[in-house]
Amino acid sequence: MFDRRSLITGALAMPFAAFPLKAQNLTDEQRSAQKTANADPTLAPDLLLPGRKMAWWRDAKFGVFVHWGLYAIPGRGEWYMFNEKVAPEDYAKLAQEFNPRHYDPDSWARLAKSGGARYMVMTARHHDGFALWDSPASYGHYDAMHSAAHRDLIAPYVKAVRRHDLRVGLYYSPLDWRFPAYFHPKDMPENAAQLKHQTYAQVEELMRNYGHIDILWWDGGWLAHTGTDADAAWFWEPDKLNRMVRKYQPDIVINPRSGWQGDFDTSEGPGPITGPIRARPWEKAFSINNGAWGYTPEDSVMTTDQLVRLLVDAVVRNGNVIANLGPDRDGLIPPKQAETLNGVGLWLKRHGRSVYGTRPGPFQPVDGVYGATMAGKSVFIHIVGWPQDQLVLPPLAGTIVDVLNLSGETVKWSMTSDRLALSVPTMSRGPAVTVIELKLA
């Protein structure tokens, strides 16, 4: 038996057999439920951004996630190291193969822009502990600068996203599978202190060295893959951690997965979105690749219609959507994922005014039937299912001066004191959603 605090080939060793494997095969939805159940996050309301500083994020509605790292080399998803019990010293050898010859963040940002996204978030460091930037704080020099790439991969990403007039986001996971104390922090205080120090120092590097950053997307703020992010607040001290973030980036939008409540809520996985309008801003996060967030070569891909449906169901409930791409080891986006995203962009070119810059209402959504958004003097009805030949809604306060199908076809409508009825021919209905604009006087 070896000392679990010892360094092996530059990485902190972790004997996987000693750790509980309870979470290794959880689905995205199960992980999301486990993280949010019974949560009592650190509130720290003074850390919250005021509404005027959150407005751009609420207006943006749609973002693109990128999960990319060493795990793109084996091509079996971002949890490959843990799920397949790869020892840290063996997994670390992938760094000497990681030389993405086609890495072109400008093409990534261009794709996100053409897909209708208004912001991007990239995994600066995932649970495997490998940093995509030159990180002096990384234990064992476990970063892109000391890999076969021999360069910082975050700096060109940040510049490319800005160049395409998108908001810049960085993902960071304090979880690091190289540290056995992640699973046993109270039993291994020295190793736990190293893990925590690395987290604070690396986040400080990201917040200090890349100019203005718009979004910090935390993940992995739990411990031992159990409980909730809030349950681990005693260890990570998210109040202290996020105050450091705010010191360097006072206007950054922060998600809730550090144990602090965050500026918005997060829902993970591609499951259906149901229920009433939510009081807090929130974001639905899922991967276009149905099998994993990181690159896999053979999994099925979400269709454009499926993504549009999730986008609409989120927006009418006060939410955003962030859809993930998983580039391969060379930095190329799989064509089918790009095709889906480009399809969303085409849909948004015609229907974008019913999405961007809107707020939910005036009607509560009806699951599987419709929801509504508002902007200026327009109300947009997003119809996802026709229960009969016409859709009957509550009456609107105010005078309707025109009714338009955003696809360009005619809409028959009538309004009385107790109802508003809309009718669109079957051939004129959209495959995923039909959007009707009600113009008010």
Does position 11 have pLDDT exceeding 70, yes or no? no
Look at residues 324, 354, 384 and tell me which one is the last residue of a structural domain.
354
Q: Which of 75, 67, 79 is nearest to 24 (CA)?
A: 79
Confidence of residue 25 (pLDDT cuts 50, 70, 90): very low
Q: What is the number of domains present in the chain?
A: 2
* Same domain as 349, residue 369: no
* Same domain as 320, residue 430: no
Q: How do strand 412-415 and strand 420-423 relate by DSSP bridges?
A: antiparallel
Indicate whether 68 belongs to any domain: yes
Distance CA 360, CA 278 (A): 9
* Same domain as 274, residue 187: yes
Residue 146: CB atoms within 10 A of its CB come to 17
Of the ranges 39-53, 79-93, 139-153, which one carries the lowest mean pLDDT score? 39-53
Confidence of residue 61 (pLDDT cuts 50, 70, 90): very high
How many alpha carbons fall within 13 Å on the CB side of residue 43? 2
Six token digits for residue 34: 């486990």
Does position 22 have pLDDT exceeding 80, yes or no? no
Distances in Å between the alpha carbon of 278 and those of 15, 252, 409?
43, 22, 32
Mean of the pLDDT values across residues 157-181? 99
Looking at 377-432, list the stretches that DSSP marks H as alpha helix, in order from N- to C-terminal side: none
Does position 100 have pLDDT exceeding 80, yes or no? yes
Q: Which helix (H) or strand (E) holds 171?
A: strand 167-172
Indicate whether 56 belongs to any domain: yes
Six token digits for residue 155: 């700096």
Does position 10 have pLDDT exceeding 90, yes or no? no
Distance CA 302, CA 362 (A): 30
Does position 67 have pLDDT exceeding 70, yes or no? yes
pLDDT of res. 342: 99
Mean of the pLDDT values across residues 396-422? 93
pLDDT of res. 299: 74
* Same domain as 12, residue 139: yes
Percent of the chain with pLDDT over 90: 87
Indicate whether 115 belongs to any domain: yes
Mean of the pLDDT values across residues 226-254? 97
Does position 302 have pLDDT exceeding 60, yes or no? yes
Q: At what angle do helices 105-114 and 154-163 cross, to 10 degrees?
A: 40
Six token digits for residue 293: 């967030």
Mean of the pLDDT values across residues 228-235? 94
On whether the CB atoms of residues 228 and 235 are closer than 8 A, the answer is: no
* Same domain as 367, residue 309: no
Task: List Cβ neighbours of 351 (8 Å cut-off, separation of 6 or more).
Answer: 406, 433, 435
Mean of the pLDDT values across residues 405-418? 92
Task: State pLDDT tens for residues 116-148.
Answer: 999 999 999 999 999 999 999 999 999 999 999
Mean of the pLDDT values across residues 275-285? 99
**Which amino acid is located at 423 in the chain?**
S
Confidence of residue 410 (pLDDT cuts 50, 70, 90): confident
Q: Which domain holds residue 159?
A: 7-354
* Same domain as 166, residue 99: yes
Mean of the pLDDT values across residues 256-262? 97
pLDDT of res. 42: 81
Of the ranges 11-15, 234-238, 327-331, 436-440, which one carries the lowest mean pLDDT score? 11-15
Distance CA 389, CA 414 (A): 14
On whether the CB atoms of residues 313 and 302 are closer than 8 A, the answer is: no
Domain CATH for 64: 3.20.20.80
Residue 431: CB atoms within 10 A of its CB come to 11
On whether the CB atoms of residues 296 and 329 are closer than 8 A, the answer is: no
φ/ψ (deg, to 5) at 151: -160, 160
Mean of the pLDDT values across residues 327-341? 98
Mean of the pLDDT values across residues 179-190? 97
* Same domain as 70, residue 203: yes
Does position 18 have pLDDT exceeding 70, yes or no? no
Cα–chain center distance at 169: 10
Mean of the pLDDT values across residues 426-441? 95
**Which amino acid is located at 261 in the chain?**
Q
Mean of the pLDDT values across residues 34-40? 45
Mean of the pLDDT values across residues 162-190? 98
Q: Which helix (H) or strand (E) holds 58?
A: helix 51-60
On whether the CB atoms of residues 206 and 158 are closer than 8 A, the answer is: no
* Same domain as 110, residue 136: yes
Exposed e or buried b per residue across 24-49, where buried means at least 16 C-beta atoms within 10 angstroms of its C-beta: eeeebeebbebbbeeeebbeeeebbb
pLDDT of res. 40: 61
- State pTM to two decimals: 0.91
* Same domain as 394, residue 279: no
On whether the CB atoms of residues 113 and 166 are closer than 8 A, the answer is: yes
* Same domain as 417, residue 333: no
pLDDT of res. 17: 32
Does position 38 have pLDDT exceeding 90, yes or no? no
More confident residue, 299 or 218: 218
On whether the CB atoms of residues 438 and 361 are closer than 8 A, the answer is: no
Q: Is 381 helix (H, G, I), strand (E, B) or coil?
A: strand
pLDDT of res. 181: 97
Task: State pLDDT tens for residues 349-375.
Answer: 999 999 999 999 999 999 999 999 999
Q: Which of 4, 8, 18 is nearest to 191 (CA)?
A: 4
Secondary structure of 294-342 in HEC code, one letter for each residue: CCCCCCCECCHHHHHHHHHHHHCCCEEEEEEECCCCCCCCCHHHHHHHH
Look at residues 354, 372, 407 and tell me which one is the last residue of a structural domain.
354
Domain CATH for 408: 2.60.40.1180
* Same domain as 419, residue 317: no
Q: Which of 390, 400, 399 is nearest to 422 (CA)?
A: 390
* Same domain as 396, residue 266: no
Q: What is the mean pLDDT of the chain?
A: 92
Confidence of residue 6 (pLDDT cuts 50, 70, 90): very low
Confidence of residue 19 (pLDDT cuts 50, 70, 90): very low
Indicate whether 2 belongs to any domain: no
